[in-house]
Amino acid sequence: MRFTLALRLAALALLLPRIASTASAQDADPGPDPECEPRAATASTCEPPPFEAASPASSRDPVQLSLGANFGCARAADGSVSCWGSCGNDRCGSTGGDAPNPRAVPGLREVTHVEAGFDFACALRADRTVWCWGGNRHHQLGVEGVESRLAPAPVPGITDARVLRLGSFHACVLDGQGQTRCWGSNSAGALGAPAAIERRASPAPVPRLPRATALWVAGRTACIRDARSRLVCWGDSSDAQAGTSRRARRAGPTRVRNAPPAAAMSLGAQHGCLLMGEGRLRCWGANFTHGDGVEFRSAPLELPGLSGVTALSLHGENQCVVAAGRVLCWGVNRMHQLAVPTPEAGGVVLVPTAVPGLEGATDVVVGRSAQCARLGSGQWRCWGRNVDGAVGVGSRDRRVERPTRLRL
């Protein structure tokens, strides 16, 4: 359950003028954070302890990772995959219970991309096949007859996948001909199929969808960029995140207005954002980004007071961006998983706020519990709410507040 959106928007509207001043202040030396607590009784300031110096990436550093619901998976340079965190429903692809450290997924090789859903994961291999493991109550593994599966196995019928994306309980691929095919749960029309179809194991094309050049999937919503550079979305539009003019429980393919080609895009379960020129963001769907009192919007609107963004990631009610090598996060922050200064744990972060101790970042990934940032050295540093080891850095503490190196 999320916070009452109207109350959150009212608070955000009051504090919107702080966005510009905060962004400006972050360009200078921020000094000690007045809202943090000293790490030791003898500390003269509340600055966190020094972070370990970045060193060049090694074979134990991931080259790509994805964060799901309290677990994550990463790809190594040699094409192998490791997963960590909450391993129920076989989502980690290995035996041994929950994994506070990354644990290899046996039987996977030549992987070029890995994705984590709510309780399952899939990998795209160099031969253009897709292999999945984990929970299967919604046929998201591409098969019927099993509740879950520990060992990765290929999804039948997928032989030419170029892009792989997972939602909560469904998956989609974009093939070499620009066709989008999906399988798994059809809740809220996630597969683009009629409402009478609750789930489907066999991958099938999304009806009435044009050929695509890019694909994004999150929650029960999906979007493509077509050959004419139009953004087309479908599925859950309860916050207009599929581009419908009003809220809709399910939506067929819908063109999102005011969504020109962008340098990058990230889609969350309830909203999406485009990265435009000069590093500015345009966002739509549930209003977790603007403070104008609007509960939701169907067309992207520029976020004032923020520029120079080079990477972004959305998940649920939270978002993080990279700007000038720093990671800035804001959102509901229920369990203080964003690791940015707030008056109290779980306080709403109303303006983009720098994660302390992270410099030289080039990318960021936001999950349900954890966040990870990639540094220029190729290392990944992760932090957040550590449910069942969801952060993946070996800690069993409830939270990992200090961005810590993730090693495979």
Res. 91: pLDDT tops 90: yes
Cα–Cα distance for residue pair 127/122, rounded to 1 Å: 14
Assign 289 a pLDDT band (cuts: 50, 70, 90): low
pLDDT for residue 41:
28
Percentage of the chain lying above the pLDDT 90 cut = 76
349 versus 11: the higher-pLDDT residue is: 349
What is the token pair recorded at 394?
Answer: 């070996």
* Cβ pair 370, 376 in contact under 8 A: no
Average pLDDT over residues 254-273: 95
> How far lies 57's CA from each of 63, 256, 338, 379, 395, in Å?
9, 40, 24, 5, 21
User: 356 or 289, which is more confident?
Assistant: 356
Band (pLDDT 50/70/90 cuts) for residue 337 is confident
Q: 89: part of which helix (H) or strand (E)?
A: none
Q: What is the pLDDT of residues 55-77, one digit of tens each?
A: 667 889 999 999 999 999 999 99
pLDDT band at 54 (very low <50, low <70, confident <90, very high): low
Judge whether residue 176 has pLDDT over 50. yes
User: How confident is residue 270, by pLDDT bands cut at 50, 70 and 90?
Assistant: very high
DSSP secondary structure, 260-293, as one string:
---SEEEE-SSEEEEE-GGG-EEEEEE-SS--SS
Model confidence at 42, pLDDT cuts 50, 70, 90, reads very low
Given this model, what pLDDT does residue 339 score? 83
The pLDDT tens digits of the residues spanning 199-217 come to 999 999 999 999 999 999 9
* pTM, full prediction: 0.85
What is the per-residue pLDDT across 110-154, written as a single tens digit (0 to 9) for each? 999 999 999 999 999 999 999 999 999 999 999 999 999 999 999
Give CA 331 to chain center in angstroms. Answer: 13
Low-confidence winner among 6-10, 165-169, 344-348 (lowest mean pLDDT): 6-10
